[in-house]
């Protein structure tokens, strides 16, 4: 096939996708990097070059690093609980339990609800329903709103994030379970392997691609959380649940320090990219074939 023919086929099938990717990702990214070297406030026409001042301001912004530490802890806990719950549910729903298709659809439903709406729904539950239940069930945890104290507000965010994403990861784990060859499972059974040995030595190694995808998706989505953070806690109480994305938004659009906000967003992007790519690389190295 000639070069012109290959170029024609590439532009026909991949050209539109590449064009839109450049327009909505590459160009905004380059423009954003340019803004990190200016003092633009997001409103005026003046964009004066300030060198690395915005990066110096970023490294001196203690609130940014606190929010980054908080976001890292939130992402770590969310990833653990999301994947643990999704894997256990997938194992249960591929074991032939009655009504498993109905339960699969039911567990996936929270993922269809937007983060903003989800946050408002759970805000009512944590702030009104729980204290109302205290008169019936006098449990200390139900005495007051979970969103009124830093510790319980943070826990509430982890719970909602787990509830929303575990159904999505559930489908990926289910595809991993059903993707394991029946011939391999039958051979293990003939060799005398019990269910536990089959799970640990056959299913889990062959499901590494599912783990890699689920860890990548849950990790990146937990780091980037903004909408649910806004509607559930709005960063409160006392900014104790203000995640990095919300802090960047505050710097750029409320404090009108667009250059600093853009510099913090770029550093935040690099942190997520390094962690996600490292996790993907290590996971890929452990993949095996049947």
Residue partners of 4: CB distance under 8 A and separation at least 6: none
pLDDT of residue 243: 95
Q: For residue 12, give every residue at least 6 positions away whose Cβ sits within 8 Å of its Cβ, in sequence order, or none.
A: none
SS (H, E, C) 96-144: CCCCHHHHHHHHHHHHHCCHHHHHHHHHHHHHHHHHHHCCCCCCHHHCC
The pTM is what? Answer: 0.90
Q: Closest by alpha carbon to 57, among 248, 259, 244?
A: 259
Is residue 255 helix, strand or coil?
coil
- Give the Cβ contact number of residue 161 at 10 Å: 26
User: What pLDDT sits at residue 290?
Assistant: 62
Rg, C-alpha atoms of the chain: 24
Q: Report residue 24 as tokens.
A: 């909505």
Alpha-carbon span 19 to 275, nearest angstrom:
28
Output the pLDDT for position 287: 76
CA 222 to chain centre: 3
Q: At what angle do helices 208-223 and 62-93 cross, to 10 degrees?
A: 140
**How do the pLDDT tens digits run along the chain, 290 residues long?**
788 888 889 889 999 999 999 999 999 999 999 999 999 988 888 889 999 999 999 999 999 999 999 999 999 999 999 999 999 999 999 988 888 888 888 888 888 888 899 999 999 999 999 999 988 888 888 889 999 999 999 999 999 999 999 999 999 999 999 998 889 889 988 988 888 899 899 899 999 999 999 999 999 999 999 999 999 999 989 889 999 999 999 999 999 999 999 999 999 999 999 999 999 999 888 877 66
Give the residues across from 49 on adjacent strands: 38
Q: Distance between CA atoms of 68 and 275, rounded to whole angstroms?
A: 13
In SS3 terms, 169-181 reads as HHHHHHHHHHHCC
Give the count of alpha carbons within 13 A of 214, CB side only: 29
- What pLDDT sits at residue 30? 95
Instruction: Supply the pLDDT for residue 289.
Output: 67
């Amino acid at each position: 096939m000639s070069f012109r023919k290959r170029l024609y086929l590439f532009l026909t099938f991949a050209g539109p996708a590449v064009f839109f990717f450049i327009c909505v990702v590459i160009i905004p990214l380059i423009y954003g990097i340019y803004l990190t070297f200016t003092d633009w406030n997001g409103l005026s026409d003046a964009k004066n070059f300030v060198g690395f001042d915005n990066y110096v301001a970023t490294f001196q912004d203690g609130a940014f690093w606190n929010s980054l530490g908080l976001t890292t802890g939130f992402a770590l806990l969310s990833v653990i609980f999301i994947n643990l719950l999704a894997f256990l549910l997938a194992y249960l729903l591929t074991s032939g339990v009655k009504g498993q298709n109905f339960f699969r659809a039911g567990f996936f439903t929270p993922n269809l609800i937007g983060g903003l709406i989800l946050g408002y729904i759970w805000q009512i539950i944590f702030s009104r329903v729980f204290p109302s239940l205290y008169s019936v069930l006098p449990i200390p945890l139900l005495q007051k709103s979970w969103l009124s104290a830093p510790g319980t507000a943070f826990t509430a965010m982890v719970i909602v994030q787990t509830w929303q994403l575990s159904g999505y990861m559930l489908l990926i784990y289910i595809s991993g379970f059903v993707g394991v060859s029946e011939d391999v499972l039958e051979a293990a059974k003939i060799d005398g392997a019990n269910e536990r040995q089959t799970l640990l030595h056959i299913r889990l190694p062959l499901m590494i691609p599912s783990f890699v995808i689920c860890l990548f998706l849950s990790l990146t989505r937990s780091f980037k959380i903004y909408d649910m953070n806004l509607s559930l806690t709005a960063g409160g109480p006392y900014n104790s649940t203000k995640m990095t994305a919300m802090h960047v938004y505050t710097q750029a659009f409320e404090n009108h320090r667009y250059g600093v906000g853009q510099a913090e967003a770029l550093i935040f992007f690099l942190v997520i990219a390094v962690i996600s790519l490292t996790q993907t690389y290590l996971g890929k190295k452990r993949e095996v074939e049947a």
